Amino acid sequence: MCGLFAAYVEFSIDDYQFLRINPPMRSTDLPEIRRLPLFCSMAAATFDTLFTHAYVQQFPAGLELIRQGDPADFLHVVLEGSVELYAAWSDRQCMMGEVRPFGAFILAACIRDATYLMSARTIERSRVILVPAADLRDAFRQDGEFALSVATELAGAYRGMVRDAKGLKLRNARERVASYLLRQSRLAGDASSYLLPVGKRLLASYLGMTAENLSRTLRTLEEDGIGVSGARVTITNRARLIALVRPDALMDGRDPADIPPPLAGAPR
């Protein structure tokens, strides 16, 4: 807990401007965006209006997209790559979450027209859609279906944060590590071997412990059915691991209907 980070590479304003001037919006982007849970239910007209001022951007790894405390100006949706949400206070910082395609972030700040509570930076090279917050609020007012999607997304984000907070308070570090590894296995289709999606330093920060302690914990977990070498995780004894983790749908599960909120079929 309270571990410090290595300083990330900072890019200059010029790099940023350069990216802004060359929006890598592709012809295939809009139809793809249209299928996302957040946007698939809204009326065509609202969608078109919403995206007149939106644009897609490509960012290099390690770029700070959002700084906590700044006013919310754009809703961000990750198309490719991955983005880390992190919080900082008084020379400490920690990872609060990770966003991968096709998740949105800082929706809550945009809806409330408030300042960001967390910062965000790219973990790897990423493509992100930026939608002006004011347009978002307009679309919300005009389109009931979109409003429902937004509320569903917000509720999902809230519930995700509750799950995380429960994990922090109810489990110790070892249990958090084990449950994380088991959950990742599930995400990979109950694979018995998979690669860690983030570096160990970051993972430790996310799990609320130091990198050193994570390293040691991983060693001791070999006795409980899971081995890690490099980024490769191998489950050697799933039953034993499950007995240790005592998985709970309310902490480790995902919400059902995480994809299309009200209509199960989706428009295609």
Partner DNA sequence: CCGCGTGATTGATCCAAGTCAAGCAATCCG
Partner DNA sequence: CGGATTGCTTGACTTGGATCAATCACGCGG
Least distance between DNA and beta carbon 127 (Å) = 20
**Contacting residue, 22, 24, 32, 158, with a second copy by CB under 8 A:** 158
Q: Distance between CA 80 and CA 55 in Å, rounded?
A: 14
Q: Which stretch binds DNA (CB under 7 A): 17-25, 47-55, 93-101, 209-217?
A: 209-217
User: Which residues from 53-92 bind a second copy, rule CB under 8 A?
Assistant: 68-69, 87-90, 92
Can you state the percent helix, strand and coil of the chain, rounding each to 5? 40, 20, 35
Least distance between a second copy and beta carbon 5 (Å) = 12
| Distance set, CA 156 to CA 1, 105, 159, 188 (Å) | 26, 12, 5, 21
Q: Distance between CA 187 and CA 251 in Å, rounded?
A: 14
Tokens representing 71 are 């006013």
266 interface partner picked from a second copy, DNA, none, CB below 5 to 8 A per type: none
**Contacting residue, 111, 177, 198, 202, with a second copy by CB under 8 A:** 111
Starting at the edge strand found earlier in the chain, the sheet holding 104-105 runs 55-59, 126-132, 74-80, 104-105
Other CB atoms within a 10 A radius of the CB of residue 53 amount to: 12
User: Which residues from 117-136 bind a second copy, rule CB under 8 A?
Assistant: 117-118
The nearer residue to DNA, 114 or 195, going by C-beta atoms, is 195
- Could you give the 3-state DSSP secondary structure of residue 208? coil
Residue 132 in the binding site for DNA (CB under 7 A) = no
Residue carrying the six token digits 């800082």: 106
Q: Residues touching a second copy: how many (CB under 8 A)?
A: 56
Q: Distance between CA 145 and CA 153 in Å, rounded?
A: 12
Q: Distance between CA 96 and CA 66 in Å, rounded?
A: 14
Residue 110 in the binding site for DNA (CB under 7 A) = no
230 interface partner picked from DNA, a second copy, none, CB below 5 to 8 A per type: DNA
Q: Which stretch binds DNA (CB under 7 A): 107-115, 153-161, 185-193, 214-222?
A: 214-222
- Catalog residues that contact DNA under the rule CB under 7 A: 1-4, 6, 172-174, 199-201, 208-219, 228-230
